[in-house]
Structure 1
Amino acid sequence: MFELFRKSRPYKIRSLHDNRKYGVAARNVKELLKKGCNILELPLSGANLCLYEDGTTVTKEFFGTLPDNTELVVLCKDQTWGGAVCDIAQLLSSDQHTKALVRAAKGLLTGEKSPKRQKILSDLLRTLEDRSELESRDEDEDWFRGVESRFKTKSAYLKYNCESRIRSYMKELDEATKSVQKAKVQKECLQAAESISQMLKLDKYNGCYFDRTQKETQRLCTREGWFTCMGPFDQAKCVSLHSINPYSSRESRILFSTWNLDHRIEKKRTIIPDLLEALQNHTSDDINLTYFYRLLFTRDNLKLVHIVCHKKEAHNVPCDPNKIFKRKRQRKKIRLK
C-alpha cells in the first residue's frame, strides 16, 4: 500500500543489444519494468532489471536504495548482463565504432585527473589508433613526422634505427682500441677492430632485427611489427609481458627508442676489456674474433628489453675463457722408422 503513495523517481533504462538510453519515472520495480518493456518493445513476461554498471540484479528491496538517474538494463528471459565491461567488449570487437571511441577517449583524457584512468585512456588510444598495417610514407604521413624524407617506408626507418644502435657499439670498440698506449699492442687492437668491423659490414649491421619484412629467423618482431620484451639479463623472460608495436603510431615509434638492446655479458665492463687484455700478449690472429663479434653485435648476447627491465647494475657475467682464443690444431707427430 505504501508504494501507491511513493513519489515517482527518474531512472535511465536500455536493452541488452541497444546503446540508446531512455529516461523513465517509476515508483517501484514492477512499474519500471512495465514502462521499460513498453518503451523498448520487449516482452514483459520473464523480464527483470539489473545495474548497467556491474550487472547486479535489482530486487524489490534493492530498488529503494537506488539514487536518481541510475542506469539500468532491462533483460528478457534467459538474458544476462556482466556490467559496463560488456559494452567495452562489444565496442572493441568491431572496427565500426573505432573513430567514435577515439573521439570519446580523447575527450575524457582532456579533463581526466586520475593518473590511473589517464594511463588506461592513453593505452586505449594507442590501441585504437593502431595503423601498423600501413607501411609507406604516403599511407601514414603522421607516423613519419620528424623522420628524414629519405625514408619512404616504416621498415626502412626501423632497420636504420637498429643499424645505428649497432654502429654505436662498434664506435665504442674503436675508441677503446685507440686509447691503448703501447704502439705494438695498439696495432694489434686496431687490426682486431678492423676485422670485427668487416664481419659487421657483411651482416649489414644486423638492421634486420627491427625490420618486419625480414625472415622470421632474422627479425625480433612479428610480421605485424610487435616486439616483446625478453626480460632482464638475469631472467629467462619478461614477467611483466611488456610489448610494443613501433609500426602502429608515431607515439609508439618514439616510445620504442626507450627500449634497449641490452648486453647480457656487458660490453664496457667485460667484452671490450677482455678483448684488449687478450691482445696484450697475443696477436689478433690468435684471438677468436668471431666470438667477440657475436657477443657485441648479435642475438647470442643481446636482449631487447623494456626500459623497466633494463638493469643498470653490474651483470657479473664473464666471457667464456675457453672461447677467447682460437683452438690450435693438433699436429700429428710422425714417427721416423
Structure 2
Amino acid sequence: MFGLFRKSKPVKIRSCSLNTKYGVAAKDLKELMKKACKTLQVPLVGAHVCLYSDGTKVTEEFFLTLPDHTELVLLSKGQTWSGVVCDIGHLLNSDRHADGLIEAAKVLLSDEQSPKRRKILTDLLQNLKDRSELESREEDEEWFKGVDTRFKTKSAYMKFNCESRIRGYMKEVDDATKTIQKAKDRAEFLKASTCLAEKLKEGKYNGCYFDRTGKEPDRLCTQEGWFTCQGSFDQDVCQSLHSINPYGSRESRIIFSTWNLDHRIEKKRTIIPSLLEALQNHKTADVNLTYFYHLLFTRENLKLVHIVCHKKGAHNLLCDAKKIYRAARNTDKRNLRAKGKKRPLT
C-alpha cells in the first residue's frame, strides 16, 4: 500500500557508448528501465542497469537505497560495464583526433566526483596533451607562454632552467662570505669561492642535466624528455614511481618547477659549513675543492625528486673527512709528523 505513494527517485542515466547523461525520475527499477530504454533507444528485453562508478548491477531492492542523482549506466543484452575505466578505454580506443580526445576527457572530468577517478582522468588528460615530439617555439607556441622570447627551443629553455638552479647554489656559497668575521678567513674563502665558480663556468653550469638533446650519461631525462623521480635522499628509488615530461605541455613544464634537485649531504647544513671550517686553519690549496664542487653541483650528491619525495628535515649525513683535504697535502703532513718537523709555510 505504501508503494503507491512512493516518491520518484531522480537518477542520471547514460549508455556505455555515449558520455551524454539524462535525468530520469522513477518510483522503482521497472519504471526506470522503461524510461531509460525509451530515452536511450535500447531494447528493453535483456537490458539492465549498473552503477557508473564500479559496475555494480542494480536490483530492485538496491535501487530503493540509492541516493538521489546517482549515476547509472544502461546496458543492452550482452554488454558489460566495470566502472570509469571503461570510459577511459572507450576514449583511448576511439578514432578521435588528439584535440577531440582532450575535450572528451575534460567532459568526463568535469562531472566526476570520486577523488581516485579524478586523479586517473587528470593524469590521462595531462598525457593526452603531450606534445613532446615538438621542439621549436614555432611548432608549439602554447608551451612557450610565459617563457622569454630569446628561447627558440624547449631544450634551450630547459637547459637554462637547470643552469639557473645551479647558479643559485653558487650564490649561496658566495653569500656565506658575509658570515665570516676574520678578514684572513674571508679572503681565503673568497679565493675558494672563485675557484668553484670558474670550474662551474667551465662545466656550463651543468645545464645538460635537463637538456634532452644532451649526451645520455649527462642528462637526467630520456631522449623524449621523461624525468623519473630518484626517491628521497635516504632511498635508492622512488617508491611512488613519480615521472613527468616537462617537454610535453606547458602545464607539465610549470609542474616540473616544483621538483627539486635535492642535496643528499645538505648544502646549507653541512657542505658550506664544512668548507668554511676547512678554510679557517688551512689555505685554499690545501682543501679538496673538487670534492666540494661535486657535492654542491653534480649528480654525485644531487637527486632529482618529486616534491612529495623531498624530505626537508635534517639528512644527518656528513662530508667524508678523508676527502676534505687534498691527498697530496695529507701525505706531506703525515711525512712531516713522522720526521718531527713543522710544515713549512707556503
TM-score by length of 1: 0.76
Is the 8 Å Cα contact of residues 159 and 211 (structure 1) preserved in structure 2? yes
Cross-structure match for 1:102: 102
Cross-structure match for 1:89: 89
The alpha carbon displacement at 1:60 in A equals: 11
The alpha carbon displacement at 1:253 in A equals: 1.0
Q: Which runs of 5+ in 2 are unaligned?
A: 1-11, 23-28, 336-346
The residue correspondences of 1:105-120 to structure 2 (distance < 5 A) are: 105-107=105-107, 119-120=119-120
Q: Deviations over 1:126-180 (max 9, x none)?
A: 2221111111111111111111000001111010000000001111111213542
1:72–1:157 CA distance, 2 compared to 1 (3 A): closer
Q: Deviations over 1:76-108 (max 9, x none)?
A: 77x765445233213224562543342244345
Is the 8 Å Cα contact of residues 229 and 238 (structure 2) preserved in structure 1? yes
Cross-structure match for 1:228: 228
Cα distance in 1 for partners of 2:287, 2:306 equals: 34
Is the 8 Å Cα contact of residues 13 and 21 (structure 2) preserved in structure 1? yes
Is the 8 Å Cα contact of residues 52 and 84 (structure 1) preserved in structure 2? no
Q: Is the aligned partner of 1:198 residue 2:198? A: yes
Cα distance in 2 for partners of 1:259, 1:280 equals: 35
SS at structure 1 position matched to 2:239: coil
Is the 8 Å Cα contact of residues 211 and 219 (structure 1) preserved in structure 2? yes
Q: Is the aligned partner of 1:137 residue 2:131? A: no
Amino acid at match of 1:215: K
Is the 8 Å Cα contact of residues 52 and 73 (structure 1) preserved in structure 2? no
SS at structure 2 position matched to 1:157: helix
Cross-structure match for 2:5: none
Cross-structure match for 1:173: 173
Cross-structure match for 2:7: none
Cα distance in 2 for partners of 1:140, 1:172 equals: 35
Is the 8 Å Cα contact of residues 51 and 58 (structure 2) preserved in structure 1? no
Q: Deviations over 1:277-333 (max 9, x none)?
A: 1111111111111100000000111111111221221111100001101112758x9
Cα distance in 2 for partners of 1:189, 1:314 equals: 25
Q: Is the aligned partner of 1:325 residue 2:321? A: no
SS at structure 1 position matched to 2:96: helix
SS at structure 1 position matched to 2:303: strand
Cα distance in 2 for partners of 1:63, 1:187 equals: 81
1:70–1:208 CA distance, 2 compared to 1 (3 A): closer
Cross-structure match for 1:253: 253
Cross-structure match for 2:269: 269
Amino acid at match of 2:318: P
Is the 8 Å Cα contact of residues 264 and 301 (structure 1) preserved in structure 2? yes
Cα distance in 2 for partners of 1:124, 1:272 equals: 43
Is the 8 Å Cα contact of residues 258 and 307 (structure 1) preserved in structure 2? yes
Identity of aligned residues (%): 64
Cross-structure match for 2:340: none
Q: Which runs of 5+ in 1 are unaligned?
A: 1-11
TM-score by length of 2: 0.74
Cross-structure match for 1:308: 308
Structure 1 stretch displaced more, 111-120 or 173-182: 111-120
SS at structure 2 position matched to 1:261: strand
